[in-house]
Structure 1
Amino acid sequence: MKFLVDVRIHEREAAKPHLAAHLAYLNAHFETGDFSMFGAYGDGTGGMLIAEAASPEALESVLELDPLKAGNCAKWQATPLKVACIDPSAFTR
Structure 2
Amino acid sequence: MPWFVKIEKGIVDKTTFDQNVPAHIAYVRDLIAKGHKAKSGYWAEYGGGMLLFEAASPEEAQEIVEADPLIATGCVNYELHEWRIVVD
How far has the Cα of 1:16 moved from its partner? Answer: 2.2
Q: How does 1:40-79 map to 2 (within 5 A)?
A: 40-79=42-81
Q: 1:20 to 1:44 in 2, by over 3 A?
A: farther
The two structures have a TM-score, normalised by structure 1, of: 0.77
Number of aligned positions between the proteins: 86
How far has the Cα of 1:74 moved from its partner? Answer: 0.4
Unmatched segments (≥5 aa) in structure 1: 87-93
Is the 1:15–1:71 Cα contact (8 Å) retained in structure 2?
no
Q: How does 1:10-89 map to 2 (within 5 A)?
A: 10-12=11-13, 13-86=15-88
Unmatched segments (≥5 aa) in structure 2: none
**Equivalent residue number for residue 91 of structure 1:** none
Moved more, 36-45 or 59-68: 36-45
Matched residues, percent identical?
Answer: 27
Is the 2:10–2:77 Cα contact (8 Å) retained in structure 1?
yes
Is the 1:8–1:46 Cα contact (8 Å) retained in structure 2?
yes
Q: Does residue 9 in structure 1 map to residue 22 in structure 2?
A: no
Distance 1:31 1:41 in 2: 25
How far has the Cα of 1:25 moved from its partner? Answer: 0.8
Deviation digits for residues 26-46 of structure 1, max 9, x if unmatched?
A: 122123221442221112312
How far has the Cα of 1:52 moved from its partner? Answer: 1.1
